[in-house]
Amino acid sequence: MSLDKGKIIEMYKTMKRIREFEVKAQNLFAEGSIPGFVHLYIGEEAVATGVCANLNEDDYITSTHRGHGHIIAKGGDLRYMMAELYGKSTGYCKGKGGSMHIADATKGILGANGIVGAGHNIATGAGLSAKYKGTQQVCICFFGDASTNQGTFHESLNLASIWKLPIIFVCENNLYGISMSQSRHQAIKDISDRAVAYNMPGIAVDGNDVFAVYEAAEEAIKRARNGQGPTLIECKTYRHRGHFEGDAGAYKPTEEQKEWLEKDPIPRIEKFMIENKIVIEKELEDLRNEVKGQIEEAIEFANNSPYPELETAVNDIYSDIVEEVRVR
């Protein structure tokens, strides 16, 4: 592992940025400032952070309905993200996408996605694109445990393997597909076992240990950049909240929740940083405040932004056709 002090601090800040963004989103949704559906990434921060800490700006990611963490880790702008959650015109998607469709093509973020398992297929296209053009880019495909029961998972791992595409399939096994526990929705324990069927390496790591995730991704990305094809990495983690805000998660046993809260990745990295003298408590507090300030700034930006003009609803469908407006 090639992590210096500066890199570790950066990774901590990313994790904390995700956590803080999500906690604020939770509150803003509860108070009615954010409409629609919100799926929070709280508890899974080490996965996106550990993987994306290895990436260049022009590498690609595909994401999921639970995408805020991936987008922040890939360098998404918090202000445009928050404005999109509010449905404002300054949002990443001009208010047309919302939480489940945030994208930033300039940073290789090919979109959160509202269809479970859809990102797998799209990732093959991004991987092919890199290979076809002969670049060194890779594509990270983030997805949850439940999406590995979709046909798209199998189609995509198969295609990526036969074409040796530079893709890292990163499964965030948070133990639940909505309310259905992994033990009920599939007959295997380690999703990484499924790699065998596609003749690619499959590894399972502690998804709450950001350094373990970083190392596994580092190795897989190296393979991909060397033309050795895809890897499946299963990161075992836990979703602290319900499937979406409004789901109290009554199906999650209390003991299980308690056990996983003790493995919360944020206190864990903080403890590591203090124990290894990467920071002292005062510096840690400064980092927390710095991140808090960034989130506050994003909320202020979103609050102060206007809603989109109604006529904008009929453009951006095609590059060259604007649909009819409704006169009211």
Partner 1 sequence: MKKMTYAEAIREGMRIKMQQDKKVYILGEDVGAFGGCFGVTSGLFEEFGEDRVRDTPISEGVIIGCAVGSAATGLRPIAELMFVDFLTVGMDQLVNQAAKMRYMFGGKINMPMVVRLPAGAGVQAAAQHSQSLEAWLTHIPGLKVVYPSTPQDALGLMLTSIEDDNPVMYMEHKALYAMEGEIEEVKPIPLGVADVKREGKDITIVATGKMVHETLAASEMLIKEGIDVEVVDPRTLFPLDKKTIFESVKKTHKVVIVTEEHKRGGYGGEISAIISEEIFDELDAPVVRIGALDTPIPFSPVLEDYVIPNYIDIVKAVKSLV
Per CB under 8 A, residues contacting partner 1 are 60, 62, 91-97, 101, 103-105, 110-111, 113-115, 118, 120-130, 132-133, 139, 151-152, 155-156, 158-159, 162-163, 315-321, 323
- Which lies closer to partner 1 via its Cβ, residue 3 or residue 313? 313
* Inter-CA distances, 270 with 35, 266, 326, Å: 33, 6, 54
- Supply the minimum distance, in Å, between the C-beta of residue 278 and partner 1: 37
- Which lies closer to partner 1 via its Cβ, residue 2 or residue 106? 106
- Supply the minimum distance, in Å, between the C-beta of residue 117 and partner 1: 8
- Which lies closer to partner 1 via its Cβ, residue 127 or residue 177? 127
- Which lies closer to partner 1 via its Cβ, residue 84 or residue 264? 84
Give alpha helix (H) positions in 163-201: 182-185
Query: Following DSSP, what letter does each residue of 74-130 receive, concatenated?
Result: TT--HHHHHHHHHT-TTSTTTTSS-GGG--BGGGTB----SSTTHHHHHHHHHHHHH
The closest alpha carbon to 172, from 191, 187, 150, 195, belongs to: 191
- Supply the minimum distance, in Å, between the C-beta of residue 137 and partner 1: 9
Judge contact between 51 and 170, C-beta under 8 A: yes
- Supply the minimum distance, in Å, between the C-beta of residue 229 and partner 1: 15
- Supply the minimum distance, in Å, between the C-beta of residue 171 and partner 1: 18
CB atoms inside a 10 Å sphere around CB 201: 17
Q: Phi then psi for 163, rounded to 5 degrees?
A: -95, 0
Q: Which residue carries 């390496």 as its tokens?
A: 201
- Supply the minimum distance, in Å, between the C-beta of residue 324 and partner 1: 11
- Which lies closer to partner 1 via its Cβ, residue 120 or residue 268? 120
Two structure tokens written together for 25: 């989103």
- Which lies closer to partner 1 via its Cβ, residue 196 or residue 322? 322
- Supply the minimum distance, in Å, between the C-beta of residue 254 and partner 1: 37
Residue 225 pairs in a beta bridge with none
- Which lies closer to partner 1 via its Cβ, residue 142 or residue 211? 142
Handedness of CA 145, 155, 221, 61 (dihedral sign): negative
Judge contact between 273 and 8, C-beta under 8 A: yes
Single-letter amino acid code for the residue at 22: E
